[in-house]
Amino acid sequence: MPYVNIRVAGKLDKSQKEKICAGVTEVIATVANKPPQSILIFIDEVEHENIASGGKLLNKPSS
């Protein structure tokens, strides 16, 4: 059973999560020849202040 863990900075809305899950499932099912129902996807939404790049914490994007 394949599983995928996706970590994103900030929040995604439900529609974005649905599209990501559908696309990732399609790729894995096609390339790895796995049934779509066997693919588990976990989406972790991480606050920007908990992620650093180049030694500096990420800034929350302005709206």
Mean pLDDT split into 10-residue runs, the chain, 63 residues: 95 98 98 97 96 92 75
Task: Please tell me the distance from the alpha carbon of residue 36 to that of residue 9, in angstroms, as a whole number.
Answer: 26
- Read off the CATH number of the domain in which 24 is found: 3.30.429.10
Number of domain units in the chain:
1
The answer to whether residue 39 is domain-embedded is yes
The answer to whether residue 12 is domain-embedded is yes
Helix%, strand%, coil% for the chain, nearest 5: 40, 30, 30
The answer to whether residue 62 is domain-embedded is no
Task: Please tell me the distance from the alpha carbon of residue 54 to that of residue 63, in angstroms, as a whole number.
Answer: 24
What is the model's pTM?
Answer: 0.84
The answer to whether residue 13 is domain-embedded is yes
Task: Please tell me the distance from the alpha carbon of residue 29 to that of residue 51, in angstroms, as a whole number.
Answer: 31
Domain hosting residue 43, numbered range:
3-57
The answer to whether residue 63 is domain-embedded is no
The answer to whether residue 31 is domain-embedded is yes
